[in-house]
Structure 1
Amino acid sequence: MSEREYDSQYIKGVKRLKYVPRTAAALARMQTRAVPCVFKDNLLDPNTTSFIEKHVDKIIEDIKASKSIQKEERKKKPVISIQERIQNKADEYAGEIEYQLDCYIDNPENKFDVFKYLTEEQVSAPVAVKVGDNFFNLERELEETIAGTCPQLKEAYSFLSKKGLKDYHKYVCDIRTDCDKYATGKKGQKRTRRKKVYSASEQTKKLNYNITDTEYHLTSLNPELIVGAMQLWTFNTKTKEITKFVAEDRMGLGVKGTTIQKFNNLSAMKKIGNKTEYFLDRIQSGGKIVLSKVLDEINTKSSKPTGRINEHTILLRTE
């Protein structure tokens, strides 16, 4: 079929058919190998060719038919939702517990440990909740029977004494309680996803800043020192702005991309006037007392920083 340039889907489809006419297949093979008996006057015998083509057409029809059947079967196949799967599983486990309830009625000493059963079966939390829900109606039914509001229920449970009925009700309540306890514990075992901790080098690898400024003779510090620092002082050589970043908590400052993060409302930004070099020197060489006062010494309006660092920003100092 490949030599006759049939579609690849039919070439592959032949292998999946349950039946292929062997005579036609053998003759086709003989033709491809130029066996003399299938030739007439050095030409392909038309009768043989017609016979082969007839069966090939039939094979193609069979392949098409099988594909359409497969498509229909796929469409007909029911899709079971997750909730249905959970309920089906819960019904299986509830069936075992119902059997144990029957055993309890026959012999009240035969109490079934539902919590242990769920643990041994490694039941998931959602399924365990549904297992307990299966006994909700029975619990309400027994409550109504104890209250004596329904004559039919009273008659149905007449084989139990008043104490026996209350014990049975408590047993059913315990089943639901055990299911809820198990589900709660199972949920608690679920590992919470930890937030990935990025190292200082990872946080600052995309930070765009000015390494050296020849006008003010300034060199930026290692940006990795920003991560975890309680304070960061920067200077924008283009706008002549001094910025003080103060960490919002003891974890210190952080960096994401080209932005300083985790700074609080005490952070401020001010433009320096004529005494640029004087204030830069005080920031770089001054102690903590000097740093606490230096922004107040600059007689310009204060503004809140955005945290953005650019190619004009010198990283002056960290604390």
Structure 2
Amino acid sequence: MQNMAERVLAGDRRALARAITLVESSRADHRAQATLLLEDLKCAGRQAQRIGLSGTPGVGKSTFIEAFGCMLTAQGLRVAVLAVDPSSARSGGSILGDKTRMERLSRDPRAFIRPSPSQSQLGGVARRTREAIALCEAAGFDVVLIETVGVGQSETMVAEMADLFLLLLAPASGDELQGVKRGIMEMADIILVNKADGELKATATRTCADYAGALRLLRKRPQDPEGFPKALTVSALEEAGLEKAWAEMQALADWRRDHGHWGRRRAEQARHWFEAEVRDALLARLDREPVKGLLLSLAAQVERGEISTTAAAEEAQRLLDVQMHG
């Protein structure tokens, strides 16, 4: 692990890929090694700008990320992309394969793309994505883009591991605008209306104005300066509006750093993931013997009507208490 940590810190891409594979593993011995590795790398104290990106399938997330990532690498920045793919219910493998759809960016020596299967995780954010972010930061990347599948609870999940949250939307009619959830709007730092080119340019401009009006009606958040959150138009195809969007992201990030929101938010996120890790560890105990066998026995008694569900749940809790204390 010491050797791997040194190679990751030196920016070795192969070592970084192996380290991410290690932290994504659910094997007990791999989890122990991953914990040691992350502790070693934590001492480096490196930080990247974490940008979460969500949007409905078909909105052009991969096209946007490729164009945006290439623009950043052209400026001399190192960019890591963590693309969380939906998983096959049978094999557990990824379906989309974002790396194949970002051909230009994947060949860029200043970029690193890592698709990860979401497996059973709600919201399309892999359970170990936040650990993969820490590895990319340790490897010296300046910007880490976290792309989600854009379904379920992905917006909440990615907001808990990113510094900035972007919501990518397509030009839409009034009826479709009404279908955008208020919760997503309240979470977004910047809304980007993509595909603002060709015949859709006028529609995109109108859609952007509609979102800007809707954002002004929302309750002002303490972590936002005047004018944020805001809506902008971009064209990933023509690479238009990308530099303006990046300038707005930088302005927002700088303001939050200057006013103490940046560090406070990262501290809150660390606490959130500590609590989530504890919950996951406790739930994992239910799938291990002898607890698993005891629960199956109680479930069988409930099925036969020999005990009520409430009494069975209380007995299960008592058994868990016994296991934890002895």
Which TM-score band (shorter chain)? Answer: under 0.3
Max Rg structure: 1
The TM-score with structure 1 as length reference comes to 0.18
Higher relative contact order by CA 8 Å / sep ≥ 6: 1 or 2? 2
